[in-house]
Amino acid sequence: RAKALAADEEFIPSEKAPLLLNFNENSLGMSDLAKEAVIRCLDGAFRYPDALRSELAEAIAAKFDLNERQVVLGNGSSEIIQATIEAFSFAAQKRVEPVQLIVPDPTFDFAELYASSLGISVVKVPLTQGSLAIDLEAMKAQADGFDGFSIVYLCNPNNPTATITQASVLNPWLHQENSRTAFIVDEAYAEFVTDPAFRSAVENVKTGSPNVVVTRTFSKIYAMAGLRVGYGLADAKTAAMIRNFVSIDNLNVAGAVAALASLKDEAFFERSLQSTNLARKIVTDTLDELGIRYLPSEANFIFHKIKGEHQLYKERMAQAHVFVGREFAPAVGYSRVTLGTPQEMRAFVRVLKSFRQKDWI
């Protein structure tokens, strides 16, 4: 892995050490304090995680100035997305109300996958042409025109585009009193955002919107994807409803202590941001130099144009031992590349430039 190399050494991707830029992980690796906490917790890991769960819920509540009853812990934020869909659809079904899920297209597809497995119909609303923004107006029209309960999944910043939906356009809908619409605002990448037009929907939770659930994760900025810790923030009653649908004792002690240590490690948080920002600059400088269009990235990945078939581009990258994201139809002609360490991204741009010499990109 690039991390094991000296800072000035080049990372050369190989079969044994491929460059994994396909799943929006944070290859900086987790905080040293979190690693130490994991090692230290092992002697006590024969006990159930109840005490640590409470401690973590309290720490998260304090971070957002919320009550701990407003925090739902998840086995990753994925579990919160799943449980929220289950909770709202179960409640609607009890009222004998039809339910639908409305999602932008493309977006992170777990909401769609969970809803489909529950037999909930999914309405996919294409991103706007050109800027590939979430088309809130069209999504709202779908909710308003539906004779039943709508669960709206909004990913902010969106995956795969890495772009934000501005608070000025999102807030009027989130604020609207409407007992027939619930929102899951997925803020998995919120910590990376610098654009002041973004505002976290946690503000809506604070102002008492019972139908807004915000999901967050330790997988991205804190580089803890493999330890599976995420959470949801909602009105206390809504949070209790969602809690009924998560697996009991869903956190393990290693994840819990790592999350607690990460929250305290402000230096790591800064380093993680700085590293991602530098990685982003390395890539955007090269994309600019090569005249390749990309969307403004507010997350740890970039959605950029490619030439020709995505499958061929992906295969050629794989031959160079670089793994990039899949194609995100209907946004064809684009590729999503995760921002690894600066060293890793220097390797990525070297491959990209070699592709340009071959006229592949």
Q: Which residues bind ligand PLP (CB under 6 A)?
A: 24, 76-78, 108, 155, 159, 186, 188, 217, 219, 225, 230
Taking the complex as a whole, how short is the minimal distance between the CB of residue 191 and ligand PLP, in angstroms? 13
Q: Give 152 or 361: the residue with its C-beta nearer to ligand PLP.
A: 152
What DSSP element (H or E) covers 339?
Answer: none
Tokens of 315: 């295969």
When the beta carbons of 222 and 348 are compared against ligand PLP, the nearer one is 222
**Rounded to an integer, what distance in angstroms lies between the CA atom of residue 232 and that of residue 171?**
19
- Cα–Cα distance measured from residue 75 to residue 251, given in angstroms and rounded to the nearest whole number: 6
Distance, CA of 341 to CA of 6 (rounded, Å): 13
Q: Are 222 and 82 in contact (CB under 8 A)?
A: no
Q: To the nearest whole angstrom, how small is the minimum distance from the Cβ of residue 59 to ligand PLP?
A: 17
Closer by beta carbon to ligand PLP, 92 or else 214: 214
Q: How far is the CB of 100 from ligand PLP (least distance, A)?
A: 20
Whose Cβ is closer to ligand PLP: residue 70's or residue 78's? Answer: 78
Dihedral angle sign, alpha carbons of residues 236, 241, 243, 246: negative
Q: CA-CA distance, 92 to 180, in Å (whole number)? A: 9
CB 152 within 8 Å of CB 185: no
Shortest gap between Cβ of 105 and ligand PLP (angstroms)?
14
Q: Which residues of 166-187 are buried (b: 16+ CB within 10 A; e: fewer)?
A: bbeebeebbeeebeebbbbbbb
Of the candidates 176, 241, 255, which has an alpha carbon nearest to the alpha carbon of residue 209? Answer: 176
> Rounded to the nearest whole angstrom, what is the least distance from the CB of residue 78 to ligand PLP in the complex?
3
In this chain, which residue has its C-beta nearest to ligand PLP? Answer: 76
**Under 8 Å between Cβ of 339 and 301:** yes
Which residue, 200 or 219, is less far from ligand PLP as judged by CB?
Answer: 219
Which C-beta is closer to ligand PLP: that of 328 or that of 355?
A: 328
Minimum CB separation of residue 15 from ligand PLP in Å reads 25
CA distance 232 to 15: 38
| Cβ–Cβ < 8 Å for 151, 101 | yes
The nearer residue to ligand PLP, 76 or 340, going by C-beta atoms, is 76
- Least distance in angstroms from the C-beta of 157 to ligand PLP: 8
What 8-state DSSP symbol labels residue 105?
E
Yes or no: say if 338 and 22 are a contact pair by the CB < 8 Å rule: yes
Q: Give the residue with the Cβ less far from ligand PLP, 13 or 325.
A: 325
d(C-alpha 222, C-alpha 350), whole Å: 27
For the CB of residue 319, give the shortest distance to ligand PLP in the complex, in Å.
25
